[in-house]
Amino acid sequence: MKILFLTFYFEPDLCAGSFRNTPLFKEILNNLREDDFLHVITTQPNRYSSFKSKAAAVETGKNYCIERITLPTHKSGFIDQAKAFYVYYVNVLKLTHQNNYDLVFASSSRLFTAFLGKIIAQKQGAKLYLDIRDIFVDTISDIINNIIIQVPLKLILSAVEKYTFSNANHINLVSEDFKWYFSKYSKPSYSFFTNGIDDEFVNYNQVASEKSIEKNQIIITYAGNIGSGQGLEKIIPNAAILLGPEYIFRIIGDGGKKSALVDKITEFSLPNVEVINPVSRSELFNYYQESDFLFLHLNNLEAFKKVLPSKVFEYAAFNKPIIAGVSGYSQKFIQSNLDNYILFEPTNAEDFVAKLLVFKVKDCDRSSFVEKFSRKNIIKKMSESILNC
């Protein structure tokens, strides 16, 4: 059996897609037979323009090959990302032209990696297994407000989506709340393997020093993408003004809305907001350990009521209070599975601050959550699902 594994993000890139697909690749590899072969086509690290890490263009082993495509420099804007994906698309078609696959696996958050997988699977008569991390048509309709652009774009994307999903053999959805949207596609079988907690987060938290860190400010940390989906520029500056110098926000990451956030910090002269470029995981662990609260926020858009951010799982590995400006499925998931948290209405700084000021920090033990949503356990089951396809 020969498997094609398509993922736009892979190690050593720093993002949820990389953290999900790298261990999945390793688990599938561990379960291959001697005559099986796994072909991964991904990209050189490109998630953040401020994070540079070079990896081998080609890695080979006994029954696998990883090929990384170099993309043009981009800053996560919509046009830049489209150009970058086009380069990936063209190169993947070239690299797969003379190969014959039995199964195509594509992990996709923006639809087009899944679309590319569909093209190759149909051309070669291979089975198609899709891992869908976001509903792109839904999201783009909310983010683009210009009706002249929105209407034709949604028509085109809806046609691409229908072509991609209608005849897939299997579709995995990272959020169970996606299933209502996908009910119109009845041919594929479905699974719901969520994101999870990596062992390195759990192991670090177990050995980290518990001694208190002397500091004069309460530290609230966010780490991850700074884009339209997170809407940090709509919440952090206003909350920082209301909370004053006793609280400091640490924003670690990069993305298409970073400049908008920085502009507001500068406009309001906010010394209690730090914006830090993406860091390695070992550095990130130290930032988390120094924090009093871990912060999560999704923009107040209809599409984001269905999602379940990977950041929920990452934060839960640390026994720190979580502040989450989320609604819909994310809110229900946190209420059902976690404790020691603050939930507030997205983009509502007054609601956030009011709840923070009366919150009583308490000790919590999330070991049962960590065990239930261990990435290792989830990936093991997902790997079996893929190979059974």
Element (H, E) at 387: helix 375-388
| The pLDDT of residue 47 is above 70 | no
Determine the Cα–Cα distance for residues 389 and 387; give it in Å rounded to an integer. Answer: 5
| The pLDDT of residue 48 is above 70 | no
Element (H, E) at 314: helix 311-316
| The pLDDT of residue 208 is above 50 | no
- 94-123: pLDDT as tens digits: 999 999 999 999 999 989 999 999 999 999
| The pLDDT of residue 21 is above 90 | yes
**What confidence score (pLDDT) does residue 52 get?**
61
| The pLDDT of residue 307 is above 50 | yes
Q: Between 255 and 102, name the one with better pLDDT.
A: 102
| The pLDDT of residue 53 is above 80 | no
**What confidence score (pLDDT) does residue 55 get?**
85
Question: Six-digit token pair at 34?
Answer: 């001697």
**What confidence score (pLDDT) does residue 245 get?**
95
Mean pLDDT of 70-91: 84
Mean pLDDT of 83-88: 93
pLDDT bin (cut points 50, 70, 90) of residue 51 is low
Describe the crossing of helices 281-290 and 199-207 by its angle, rounded to 10 degrees: 50
**What confidence score (pLDDT) does residue 210 get?**
47
Is 117 in contact with 130 (CB distance < 8 Å)? yes
| Count of other CB atoms within 10 angstroms of residue 31 | 12
Determine the Cα–Cα distance for residues 166 and 188; give it in Å rounded to an integer. Answer: 7
**What confidence score (pLDDT) does residue 74 get?**
61
Contacts of 167 (CB under 8 A, 6+ apart): 118, 122, 128, 187, 188
Whole-angstrom distance between the N-terminal and C-terminal Cα of the chain?
11
Determine the Cα–Cα distance for residues 326 and 347; give it in Å rounded to an integer. Answer: 9
Given CATH 3.30.70.330, say whether it is the number of domain 199-372. no
Tell me if the bond preceding 12 is cis, omega within 30° of 0. yes
Taking CA atoms, 266 is separated from 97, 233, 301, in Å, by 51, 12, 26
Average pLDDT for the chain: 92
Is 312 in contact with 330 (CB distance < 8 Å)? yes
| The pLDDT of residue 209 is above 80 | no
Amino acid at 299: N
Is 117 in contact with 42 (CB distance < 8 Å)? no
Q: In the chain, where are the structural domains located?
A: 2-196+374-388, 199-372
List, in sequence order, every residue forming a beta bridge with 224; answer none if it has no partner: 253
**What confidence score (pLDDT) does residue 361 get?**
87
Q: Between 73 and 238, name the one with better pLDDT.
A: 238
pLDDT bin (cut points 50, 70, 90) of residue 211 is very low
CB neighbour class for 149 (10 Å; exposed up to 12, middle 13-18, buried from 19)? exposed
**What confidence score (pLDDT) does residue 144 get?**
78
% of the chain residues with pLDDT over 90: 77
Taking CA atoms, 241 is separated from 77, 231, 272, 324, in Å, by 28, 17, 9, 19
- 135-163: pLDDT as tens digits: 998 888 777 777 888 889 889 999 999 99
**What confidence score (pLDDT) does residue 363 get?**
80
Contacts of 381 (CB under 8 A, 6+ apart): 193
Alpha carbon 171 to chain centroid, angstroms: 18
- 176-207: pLDDT as tens digits: 999 999 999 999 999 999 999 998 887 765 54
Is 107 in contact with 133 (CB distance < 8 Å)? yes
Alpha carbon 54 to chain centroid, angstroms: 21
| The pLDDT of residue 212 is above 90 | no
Question: Six-digit token pair at 336?
Answer: 């059902």
pTM of the predicted model as reported, rounded to 2 decimal places:
0.90
Describe the crossing of helices 236-243 and 258-267 by its angle, rounded to 10 degrees: 30
Determine the Cα–Cα distance for residues 355 and 322; give it in Å rounded to an integer. Answer: 12
**2-196+374-388, superfamily in CATH?**
Glycogen Phosphorylase B; (3.40.50.2000)
Tokens 């009521």 belong to which residue?
305
**What confidence score (pLDDT) does residue 267 get?**
97
Mean pLDDT of 271-285: 93
List, in sequence order, every residue forming a beta bridge with 61; answer none if it has no partner: 64
Same fold? 2-196+374-388, 199-372: yes
Mean pLDDT of 220-236: 95
% of the chain residues with pLDDT over 70: 94
